[in-house]
Chain A
């Protein structure tokens, strides 16, 4: 396109759907470079070069689609490659995009709104609501739910109807009963507490909804005194009383839905979702663990037992497993062992004083042999 050879084009005026065949020339009017768009039946349109914007991502490689200004409605399509090239060489602002200030303001307002909404719902409303709702679930439902998950865990650990993992040495059971009674003391517990030992080497213990607590034989073997076991028992009773399994289930049901919405389904979105959900639920669970620890400290103080021996158990555990610190301790659901040991020592009310041991040496031996 130059003065001598006008370029062929199609013009759409943005007022009607009529297609106007036009000829376009590059001229200078009033010291400004302009495109003069001439059709047979309308007066000429004059588009200054500096105002031209290109409509991009066009499937047709040849030619160029132009608008007048960023928000212009009319379109000029130059079909020939060389005309397009001349426009590209001479128009300075083809790709210029100006985002209105009001758009930015809207963006800031709604980003804040969206983030606030997600944070408030996930960290304030959901926890409070699920804590409240957890207490409203009828106890018999909780017991039923606990039975189902106990069956599942039992099967998962390799147990079956023929191979019941629960240990049944009568003297051991008596010792366990005595320990449970001493720990509960006068504390009111709204459940029928059922404490068992599973014949399994894991150094662990767990509680399911409805008042069932299980200690593993591996934990009894690793513990150096009955008071250490009593501390763990207190911790699990804490979970039961705080209804932690119910609260956590309700919370994560809510947060998974929200996170799924935020991340969408791009490649890797699922991983981002899973990792975030893991971090958040670990955050929740860490709170639950600290709560159960505090409950254990209180039970031990009430039972006149030194919670410092609970601290001993954490040290034993650390020697066996190696403690988790740093990032890993955020991902794991249990807070780091040193911190928990320190908290247990700090909560100790017995100190150097004498106390009545939770079990006699014979009973302690019987408990450790409960699976034999």
Chain B
């Protein structure tokens, strides 16, 4: 059956495979142990606490969810552990707010001042383009902070991650990441996305080459051009849009425009495909120290459909929750409204609005909040967990006996935690 392996890029490696021929021990599988029930109750409980504390519990909520996901991920049967805590996350957030409030406040005011000062007053396309440019300028100004916050958030999360009692760690090198990320982004935009693999590879290499497990460093091998196969569906989507578009211009056959719509939809799949396949290609080229390697085989179609169907299911469930609240609410409101109509009185005269009306409004608002909240909770069990589970189960560790030699590293205190990412709302999804 060896021909299967050469044809199918997603085939899993076995002991017989040549790539692990040098390995003395069999590859280590990653187990995933999370279940829907316990995660659902944990997510619901923490979401409700977040709501009634006006958002302040969110630091603890995220921490508890992470603890669950980490402990569900068990390479070789030994669970990962997340050792962060909500208090330090809150502290980091407060530190970030103390600095960012000044920066963001001044920044926004000065930017809108500049915007108003050069405002031309015309309503022509030129003037509107300027307006749009300026509304985007605010975003541009925050981008360096976003990259900074993302690198720091990753550093914090990994510094609070342990496996077999040994800590992960990331070097403090956020500013180096910021300017590289900005440079690569500009290059990617200028080349209309053609150099996206270059960006993905070099930024991943920057991050991975500064990541440690215990006293041992990770290394990202490979070269950026090997990521082009992951771009396949981007090219197909672009082709689906450009070729019919050119045909329309030449022959004015508007029927072919239907391909353009297909092409736009195709972009969504291309996005998932690139994320999954580039993860797989880069994953196979990662090493921990000299010996430990990885094999990853996530499937793009599986991840894509988990997202689409999971999101659909989650929004249906959230919609049902809202409908339930609405029915109760309109019962309260409906009765009083009919009552008033039958007496021919003015509906919105404050004296005629009864207690029932207010209760109804209150239940409506509650229903709206419950809908937002349950969308998050259902999203957790229908999207986040299945996707994580798939990635985890499709990963293997090569040469795992070399892990035994890895020694502990010292604690990275990081008082600011991931406060900047929390304040700018650019933290990790989980």
Binding site for B on A (CB under 8 A): 10, 12-19, 55-61, 65, 73-75, 77, 99, 103, 106-107, 110-111, 113-114, 116-118, 121-122, 125-126, 129-130, 133, 136-138, 141, 143-145, 147-148, 151, 246, 249-251, 253-258, 260-269, 271-272
Contacts and interface: CB of A to CB of B under 8 A. Distances in A.
Contact of A16 (B76, B407, B424): B407
A145 B116 contact: yes
B324 interface: no
B288 to A, nearest CB: 10
Nearest to B422: A264
Contacts, number: 211
Interface residues of B, number: 74
Nearest to A322: B350
A61 to B, nearest CB: 7
Given A145-B121, A261-B423, A268-B369, A133 B113 contact: yes
Contact of A12 (B117, B165, B376): B165
A133 B99 CA distance: 23
5 tightest CB-CB pairs across the interface, nearest first? Answer: A144-B121, A12-B165, A59-B72, A57-B67, A267-B372
A143 to B, nearest CB: 8
A59 B38 contact: yes
Contact of A117 (B91, B101, B372): B101
Nearest to A147: B121
Contact of B94 (A110, A141, A151): A110
A16 B405 contact: yes
Nearest to B411: A73
Contacts of A74: 165
Contacts of B213: 17
B52 to A, nearest CB: 10
Contact of B119 (A113, A133, A144, A151): A144
Among A143, A249, A268, the one with the most B-chain Cβ atoms within 10 Å of its Cβ is: A268
A17 B72 contact: no
A182 to B, nearest CB: 31
B301 to A, nearest CB: 27
| Interface of A (DSSP majority class) | helix
B50 interface: yes
B109 A250 contact: yes
24 contacts: A12-B164, A16-B405, A19-B78, A55-B71, A59-B68, A59-B72, A60-B74, A106-B415, A113-B98, A117-B98, A117-B102, A125-B105, A125-B106, A143-B121, A144-B122, A254-B112, A260-B425, A261-B424, A261-B425, A262-B97, A266-B55, A268-B369, A271-B369, A272-B54
Nearest to A264: B55
Contacts of B166: 12, 14, 16-17
B54 A57 contact: no
A122 to B, nearest CB: 7
A220 to B, nearest CB: 28
Contacts of A114: 94-95, 97-98, 101
Contacts of B204: none
Contacts of A129: 106, 109
A17 B76 CA distance: 12
A205 to B, nearest CB: 23
A271 B407 CA distance: 49
Interface string B306-344: 000000000000000000000000000000000000000
Max count, chain A CB within 10 A of own CB: residue among B113, B120, B376, B404:
B113
A10 B163 CA distance: 13
A250 B106 CA distance: 10
A250 B68 contact: no
Contacts of B252: none
Interface string B38-60: 11001000010011001100100
Nearest to B78: A19
Interface string B355-379: 0000000000000010011001000
A17 B214 contact: yes
Given A114-B94, A255-B105, A249 B112 contact: yes
A75 B81 CA distance: 10
A107 B100 contact: no
Interface of B: 33-35, 38-39, 42, 47, 50-51, 54-55, 58, 64, 67-69, 71-72, 74, 76, 78-79, 81, 87-88, 90-91, 94-95, 97-102, 104-113, 116-123, 163-166, 213-214, 369, 372-373, 376, 403-408, 415, 422-425
Nearest to B57: A266
A257 B116 CA distance: 18
A175 B100 CA distance: 54
Contacts of B67: 56-58
Given A118-B101, A254-B108, A269-B55, A59 B87 contact: no
Given A249-B112, A253-B109, A266-B55, 8 more contacts: A58-B71, A59-B35, A106-B91, A137-B117, A253-B108, A254-B104, A257-B104, A258-B101
A116 B165 CA distance: 40
A254 B68 contact: no
A57 B68 contact: yes
A280 to B, nearest CB: 12
Contact of A60 (B71, B94, B101, B415): B71
Contacts of A58: 67-68, 71, 79
Contacts of A19: 76, 78, 164, 404
Contacts of B405: 16-17
A188 B223 CA distance: 71
A254 B106 contact: yes
B112 A17 contact: no
Contacts of B38: 59, 61
A237 B95 CA distance: 44
Contacts of A267: 47, 50-51, 369, 372-373, 376
B51 A266 contact: yes
A317 B388 CA distance: 63
A10 B74 CA distance: 14
Contacts of A110: 91, 94-95, 98
B404 A17 contact: yes
B109 A144 contact: no
B106 A137 contact: no
A251 B55 contact: no
Contacts of B423: 261
A261 B55 CA distance: 12
Contacts of B90: 107
Given A74-B165, A99-B87, A257-B108, A272 B55 contact: yes
Contacts of B98: 110, 113-114, 116-117
B105 A126 contact: yes
Nearest to B402: A17
A329 to B, nearest CB: 15
Contact of B403 (A14, A17, A55, A246): A17
A261 B47 contact: no
Contacts of B97: 114, 117-118, 261-262
B388 to A, nearest CB: 11
